[in-house]
Structure 1
């Protein structure tokens, strides 16, 4: 595996940031759908968010593999931002899944 050019590195970083942002938006919309009682829509949005996130994760994995192959990635502020966005998307997904469960339990108690 050859080392990335600076342009490839930046494009990959922006791809990961976009994937994380799209995932976070889908997760929040899923929570709003669940709050409105539309659990089918919530599931669709969760799946869409996970698909977006996985796209960013694949790009991230490719960078890790490049480094493992002996072509180190120099840490930058941009990469720090990428890592922050990816981690926050994971946390938001986890919290949204928990909150959707709470909405379902509350709805079942009301019925």
Structure 2
């Protein structure tokens, strides 16, 4: 396996971990465990940042002339990263909304 493929797999793995942590946060919020939910959201952000750092590294290499082949695997990785970031952002808002609702009761 080439180095570029390993980096692409890091994006996929970190993005999946981020998405999983975000959905775990939502589950905890539904159980009114907002401390736990916020910890999971923090974990989701850290995993997302790890994926984003690999993406930034690949982009930087490309701007320096070292092109990464645009393969189906790369497209898949980018899809995972963007969908996990969107899920995390939406779930963060949902956790906040649930916390507000439960505080008013």
Give TM class, smaller chain: over 0.9
RMSD (Å) for aligned C-alpha atoms: 1.0
Structure 1: which 5+ runs fail to align? Answer: 1-5
Structure 1 or 2, whichever has the larger Rg, is 1
Between the two proteins, the alignment pairs up a number of residues equal to 105
- Where does residue 104 of structure 1 map in the other structure? 99
Q: Does 1:17 align with 2:19?
A: no
Question: Where in structure 1 do 4 or more consecutive aligned residues deviate above 2 Å?
Answer: none
1:75 to 57, 65, 70: 70
Partner Cα distance (1:57, 1:104) in 2 = 29
Partner Cα distance (1:44, 1:108) in 2 = 19
Alignment TM-score, normalising by the size of structure 1 = 0.90
- Where does residue 59 of structure 2 map in the other structure? 64
Partner Cα distance (1:36, 1:28) in 2 = 13
Alignment TM-score, normalising by the size of structure 2 = 0.95
Q: 1:86 offset after TM fit, Å?
A: 0.2
Structure 2: which 5+ runs fail to align? Answer: none
Matches within 5 A, 1:29-40: 29-40=24-35
